[in-house]
Structure 1
């Protein structure tokens, strides 16, 4: 009988790590979901129109123009329209039908909007959407 008690008190040769791996996967998925949910881009005040339809396609590139004239491509700052064109050219090489959406602040300098549209035209990007807000109905 003393031999049976001794065998129960023997140290384990291996550790079952399955529960630890399950916990690690749950934490990883939670971290990924929370991180992607917190990325929202650059906040601007869009102009108001009656026909506000948003363009939503896969692999869509968003160009944002703030009120002070700062340019962003997918929430990353861009120095000028030439650099924007260079970055978009690499995306266009991967996807010839590259859809782009321009989200400009209503107070943004019109010259900057024109420069962005000219850069898109030079790259032959024809799928361009303009983000606006729906104006309140006049009535």
Structure 2
């Protein structure tokens, strides 16, 4: 390509690199910002694991709520009143005992809530047993 100035013709051999440099600088700034943003974070001091096995062992009772509403304490079918009496006895033997509540997926939620309320009323530690769908 040539540019004609007056009667003279001279070749056009320069390329304007200013827009390309502007783009390169913008990309450089974006990469710097993204890199520093991903490196920064919170400093959290994690607890150190103990090499000693726990020496305390406490009772664990499992209360199951079957799909028909039947309550089972460690596999034995009991009423809510019988379960309460057994939990009171177990708490008297071991104040740090724990109750694990396992409710069937088809069980009435009210039965599970009765067991949770019972544990709260007796001030017993409890946990809910969950499993993956299909297992």
Q: TM-score range by the shorter chain?
A: 0.5 to 0.7
- For structure 2, the residue ranges without an aligned partner over 5 or more in a row are 1-56
Specify the alignment match of 1:13 in structure 2: none
Q: How far off is 1:74 after superposition?
A: 0.6
The equivalent residue for 2:78 is 78
Runs of 4+ in 1 over 2 A off after TM superposition: none
**Larger radius of gyration between Structure 1 and Structure 2:** 2
* 2:100 aligned counterpart, secondary structure: strand
- The question of whether the paired residues in 2 share the 8 Å contact of 1:66 and 1:104 is answered with yes
The equivalent residue for 1:25 is: none
Shift of 1:128: 1.1
3-state SS in 1 of match to 2:68 = coil
Structure with the bigger percentage of strand: 2
TM-score scaled by structure 2? 0.54
Partner of 2:129 in structure 1? 131
CA contact (8 A) 1:68 1:108 kept: yes
Q: Relative CO higher for 1 or 2, CA cutoff 8 Å, sep ≥ 6?
A: 1
Per-residue displacement from partner, 1:53-87 (whole Å, max 9, x unpaired)? xxxx75210001100000010101102x2221111
TM-score scaled by length of structure 1: 0.52
Q: 1:5-24 maps to which residues of 2 (within 5 A)?
A: none
1:62 maps onto 2:33 in alignment: no
Q: How many residues align?
A: 78
Residues 78 and 59 of structure 1: CA distance in aligned 2, closer, same or farther (over 3 Å): same
Q: 5+ unaligned residues in a row in structure 1: which ranges?
A: 1-56
- Calculate the aligned-residue CA RMSD, in Å: 1.6
